[in-house]
Chain A
Amino acid sequence: MSEAPNSNDVEKALRRRSRAVAVLAVVLMSLQGAVLAATEHVTLNGGRLVDKVQVGAFVFLALALMLNVLTGGRRSRKYPAMNDELVRANRARALKLGYVVTMLALIGVYVAMLLVPLDVYKYIPLLVTFGIVVPALYFSVLERKGEKGG
């Protein structure tokens, strides 16, 4: 018979996940400048290797962060309490905010595109970042709430 998971281990894993999500979100944001510059140079058949690596790193990190927020990460398979209904409610709230922010950003780019000439594709990394970083950070904040108490 498998032993019930230790509550302290679950607590530690929850705190670690919350920190990891916040750190990944900050790293993703910090890549913005480099990625926006690299996006201009990367083409299907050309471009510098360093630019391709930066774009690749951004895409990988964005997907990793999105999956972590959506699924709760690998550790939650070991500890089902890491994906309990409070976590699912926090995730739903975070994703709702992410949806609103992404739509507002898209509407903003669309309106701006009508007023001034814009190379819209250059702003896609920024929009991706909005859509992933905002819910990730909000999820991390929500997860840190309610940690006190006996």
Chain B
Amino acid sequence: MAEAALRNRLKEARSELGLTQAELAVRVSVSRKTINTVENGVFVPSTTLALRLAAALGRKVEDLFQLTE
């Protein structure tokens, strides 16, 4: 079975709150580069980081991350 790709709406959710990557990075205790690579789909975050991102943005994890066929 082919592995499904992970799509995320992190950038949209962050922009809606008016946060920069740096501000979100501080909220979840990672570097801005980590936020950037997650937004660009270069890096797939762990469940822990995904949950922390969702909590920081006031969203559910499944609102931020979806599997695509």
Answer yes or no: A106 CB below 8 A from chain B CBs: no
Number of interface residues of B (CB under 8 A): 22
> Cα distance A121–B53 when bound, in Å?
51
**Distance A87 CA – B25 CA, assembled complex (angstroms):** 14
Q: How far is the CA of A67 from the CA of B39 in the complex (A)?
A: 31
Q: How many residues of A are counted as interface, with CB atoms below 8 angstroms from the partner's CB atoms? A: 22
| Complex Cα gap A87–B49 (Å) | 13
Candidates A4, A7, A85; contact of B45 at CB < 8 Å:
A85
B40 interface residue (CB < 8 Å to A): yes
- Name which residue of chain A comes closest to B44, CB basis: A89
Q: Tell me if A40 is interfacial: C-beta within 8 Å of chain B.
A: no
Residues of B within 8 A of A14 (CB): 31, 33
What is the count of residue pairs linking A and B with beta-carbon distances less than 8 angstroms? Answer: 63
- On chain B, the residues within 8 Å of A87 by CB distance are 31, 34
**With A85-B34, A85-B49 as contacts: A146 and B26 at CB distance below 8 Å:** no
Q: Complex Cα distance A89/B46, Å?
A: 10
- Contacts A7-B23, A150-B20, A150-B21 known; A84 to B39 CB distance under 8 Å? no
Verify if A48 is at the interface (C-beta below 8 Å from B): no
Which residues on the B side are within 8 Å of A101 (C-beta)? none
B residues within 8 Å of A by Cβ?
A: 20-23, 25-26, 29-34, 36-37, 39-40, 42-43, 45-46, 48-49
